[in-house]
């Protein structure tokens, strides 16, 4: 059962695709490692692939990670930046 629960773990963040992005504000970056709180309450190292500022002034972050079970599957989506749940790794 534990493997099934871990397979469904995803970032414990609000999905927020940047539809209201400020033109020209999207920043594609080299993958930056960030520590993210997951829905299974663990912290995982993920890749931040981009940042964008939306029209309300909030930041969105494009995250990439791999689901470990049942097979290693790449996942990617935009989330609202939450400094309590995303830590920049230095």
SS3 sequence of 7-53: HCCCECCCECCCCCECCCCCEEEEEEEEEEEECCCCEEEEEEEEEEE
Work out the percent of the chain whose per-residue pLDDT is above 90. Answer: 34
Is the model's pLDDT at 4 over the cut of 70? no
Span between the terminal Cα atoms of the chain, in Å: 35
Segment 5-49, tens digit of pLDDT: 445 688 999 988 776 655 555 666 677 899 999 999 999 999 998
Closest CA to 78 of 90, 61, 57: 61
Q: Which residue has the higher pLDDT, 18 or 72?
A: 18
pTM of structure: 0.76
pLDDT of residue 5: 43
Query: For residue 13, what are its two tokens?
Result: 């963040």
CA distance 69 to 52: 30
Is the model's pLDDT at 81 over the cut of 80? yes
């Amino acid at each position: 059962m534990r493997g099934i629960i871990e397979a469904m773990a995803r970032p414990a963040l609000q999905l927020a695709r940047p539809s209201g992005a400020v033109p020209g504000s999207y920043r594609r970056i080299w993958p930056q490692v960030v520590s993210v709180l997951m829905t299974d309450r663990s912290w995982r190292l993920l890749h931040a692939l981009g940042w964008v500022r939306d029209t309300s002034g909030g930041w969105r972050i494009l995250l990439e990670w791999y689901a470990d079970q049942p097979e290693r599957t790449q996942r990617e989506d935009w989330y609202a930046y939450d400094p309590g749940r995303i830590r920049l790794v230095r």
